[in-house]
Structure 1
Amino acid sequence: MSAFGSVFMPEMAISWFDGSQWSNAEVVSSDSIQLHPGAHVLHYSSSCFEGLKAFRHEDGSVKIFRMDRNIARLQQSSDILALPEFAPEQLEQMIVDIVTRFADQVPEAPGSMYIRPTHIGTEPAIGKAAVPSLTSCLYVLLSPVGDYFTGGDKALRLLLDDEGMRCSPHMGVVKSGGNYASALQPIMKARAEYQADQVLFCPGGDVQETGAANFLLIDGDEIITKALDSTFLHGVTRDSILTLARDMGMTVSERQLTVEELLERSARPGCEAALSGTAAVLTAVGTFIYKGKEYEVGNGGIGETTLLLRRALNDIQWGRAEDKHSWLTSL
Structure 2
Amino acid sequence: MMTDTATIPIAFSTTPSATAKAAAEREAILADPGFGKHFTDHMATISWTIGEGWHDARIVPYGPLHLDPAASVLHYAQEIFEGLKVYRHADGSIWAFRPEANARRMQRSAERLALPQLPEALFVEAIKRLVEVDAAWVPSAPETSLYLRPFMIASEAFLGVRAAQAVDFHVIASPAGAYFPGGVRPVSIWLSQDYTRAGRGGMGAAKTGGNYAASLLPQAEAYEQGCQQVVFLDAEERRYVEELGGMNVFFVYGDGRVVTPALSGTILEGITRSSVIRLAEDRGHTVEERRVPIEEWRDGVASGAITEVFACGTAAVITPIGVLKARDFTVGSLDAPAGALTMSLREELTDIQYGRREDHHDWMRRLA
Which of 87, 91, 96 is residue 55 of structure 1 equivalent to?
87
Distance apart, 1:2 and its partner CA = 4.5
1:51-71 CA-to-partner distances (Å, cap 9, x unmatched) read 111111111111110001000
Match of residue 10 from structure 1: 41
Distance of 2:111 and 2:85 partners within structure 1? 23
TM-score (norm 2): 0.85
Which of 128, 135, 141 is residue 166 of structure 2 equivalent to?
135
Gap regions ≥5 residues in structure 2: 1-31
Distance apart, 1:74 and its partner CA = 0.5
Distance of 2:248 and 2:81 partners within structure 1? 17
Distance apart, 1:189 and its partner CA = 1.6
Distance of 1:104 and 1:7 partners within structure 2? 14
1:309 pairs with 2:345:
yes
Distance apart, 1:3 and its partner CA = 3.5
- Once the two structures are superposed, the pairs formed by residues 262-277 of structure 1 within 5 Å of their partners are 262-269=297-304, 271-277=307-313
What amino acid is the match of 1:323? D
Distance of 1:262 and 1:299 partners within structure 2? 19
Q: Helix, strand or coil: the match of 1:22?
A: strand
Match of residue 120 from structure 1: 153
Give yes or no for contact 1:158–1:196 (8 Å, CA) kept in 2.
yes
Of the structure 1 ranges 11-20 and 268-277, higher mean CA displacement relative to structure 2 is found in 268-277
Distance of 2:33 and 2:362 partners within structure 1? 33
What amino acid is the match of 1:243? R
Distance apart, 1:268 and its partner CA = 4.0
1:217 pairs with 2:248:
no
Distance apart, 1:145 and its partner CA = 0.8
What number of residue pairs does the alignment pair up?
328
- Once the two structures are superposed, the pairs formed by residues 1-331 of structure 1 within 5 Å of their partners are 1-20=32-51, 21-108=53-140, 109-128=142-161, 131-169=162-200, 170-192=202-224, 194-203=225-234, 204-220=238-254, 221-269=256-304, 271-296=307-332, 300-331=336-367
Distance of 1:7 and 1:218 partners within structure 2? 37
Residues 187, 117 of structure 1: CA spacing in aligned structure 2 closer, same or farther, 3 A cutoff?
same
Give yes or no for contact 2:33–2:177 (8 Å, CA) kept in 1.
no
What amino acid is the match of 2:97? F
Q: Helix, strand or coil: the match of 2:365?
A: strand
Give yes or no for contact 2:42–2:133 (8 Å, CA) kept in 1.
no
Distance of 1:278 and 1:305 partners within structure 2? 19
Distance of 1:268 and 1:63 partners within structure 2? 43
What amino acid is the match of 2:130? I
1:273-316 CA-to-partner distances (Å, cap 9, x unmatched) read 11100011111110111233211169644212111110000000
Q: Helix, strand or coil: the match of 1:225?
A: strand
Gap regions ≥5 residues in structure 1: none
What is the aligned-residue identity percentage? Answer: 36
